[in-house]
Amino acid sequence: MTEWYYADRQRRQIGPQSAEALAQRFRAGEIDAATLVWRDGLPAWQPLGSLRGELGLDEAPATLDFRVEPTLGPAGDVPAETLATAAGAYSPYAAPATGFDSHAGPAPVHGGDVVMGGLWRRVAASFLDGIVTAILTYALLIPLMLLFGLSLSSLAQNELAGAGASVTFMLLYYGISLGLPALYFAWMHSSGTQASLGKMAVGVKVVRTSGEPVGFWRALLRYVAYFLFVLMTCGIGVLISGLMVAFTERKQALHDMLCDTLVVDKWAFTDRPEWQERGLGTVTVVILVLFGLFIAGALAVGLAMVGLISSMKG
């Protein structure tokens, strides 16, 4: 018997259950034609309305308004076992991407409004992601520096061995410093969440311009394009990217344009576009305030250091 799964209003995976049980829920009004369903063999999650024939629902009208909210039946009509999440079952809904154009989540739902991730939500996300990547990077670099510090001191009498250890240390140092953030963003943006931890916090995600999830290699190239742009412009690329996000029609930075990506609200390209947040949101505002305090504190410390050095010279 074919096992089916469906996504409820909270985007939770419900199942497994038979086609007959799924059809019964449809007729009872517990799910509608826009509900995303999946079975083994489907390349991605599909709206239930597109699989009416397979589910024995040919009598269902083909012109249902997918925007209409379904009328839920009594809670007692829903068997308790179908409310549990299917653990361990393969599903493209939560599976990570494995290729350049592979899908990390459900098939995009088109036709609704799309709210773009604006400049300030992206700034707040970048601030949080900067903290995350810094913690991860130094968690690896500090033990590495301690290890090689001992190694270099023990090899100080052997000039050739010391030079070899220094080269090895520098390769590992830059490999971790540059590679770990690249892998972090590539993995997170191509995962089922379609967002890094910072983007998850402010409620945005990265998608293709068609609304489809990005694959790992596209997400990696997106980060590399941004890094190289900032590196070649000596840091001015950060400001240029911000201005492009602020003033382009689809809120795209240069690396978004090059890699065919968008940053949108987490509910964009789903069957619940009305849940998108148009304002900054409380979390974004709090992060921006903390970011402002951090910048002010850094400037104050810098000015204090300049004053201290000047007084010492005087």
The model's confidence at residue 7, banded by pLDDT at 50, 70 and 90, is confident
What order do you get walking across the sheet with 4-7 strand by strand?
13-17, 4-7, 36-39, 46-47
Give the residue from 111, 114, 104, 43 showing the smallest Cα distance to 262.
114
pLDDT, mean of residues 246-263: 94
- CB 14, CB 6: distance < 8 Å: yes
Poorest-pLDDT segment among 3-12, 112-121, 172-181: 3-12
In whole angstroms, what is the distance from residue 201 CA to residue 262 CA? 17
Residue 249: other Cβ atoms inside 10 A: 6
Peptide bond preceding 108: is omega within 30 degrees of 0, i.e. cis?
Answer: no
Residues 6+ apart with CB under 8 A from 296: none
Q: How high is the pLDDT of residue 78? A: 39
**In the predicted structure, residue 104 carries a pLDDT above the cut 60:** no
- CA angle at 215 for the pair 209 and 217, rounded to the nearest 5°: 110
204: left (phi over 0), alpha (psi -120 to 50) or beta: beta
The model's confidence at residue 73, banded by pLDDT at 50, 70 and 90, is very low
Task: Using the structure block, give the residue that is written with the tokens 């410390």.
Answer: 301
The model's confidence at residue 177, banded by pLDDT at 50, 70 and 90, is very high
Q: How high is the pLDDT of residue 91? A: 36
Q: Which domains does the chain have, with CATH numbers?
A: 4-78 (3.30.1490.40), 119-288 (no CATH)
| Residue-wise pLDDT tens digits, 280-299 | 999 999 999 999 999 999 99
What string of DSSP letters covers 158-204? -HHHHHHHHHHHHHHHHHHHHHHHHHHHHHHHTSTT-S-HHHHHHTE
**In the predicted structure, residue 70 carries a pLDDT above the cut 50:** no
**In the predicted structure, residue 158 carries a pLDDT above the cut 80:** no
Q: How high is the pLDDT of residue 3? A: 83
| Residue-wise pLDDT tens digits, 127-154 | 999 999 999 999 999 888 888 776 655 5
> 251 to each of 78, 106, 262, 275, how far by Cα in Å?
43, 23, 8, 20
More confident residue, 77 or 233: 233
**In the predicted structure, residue 95 carries a pLDDT above the cut 80:** no
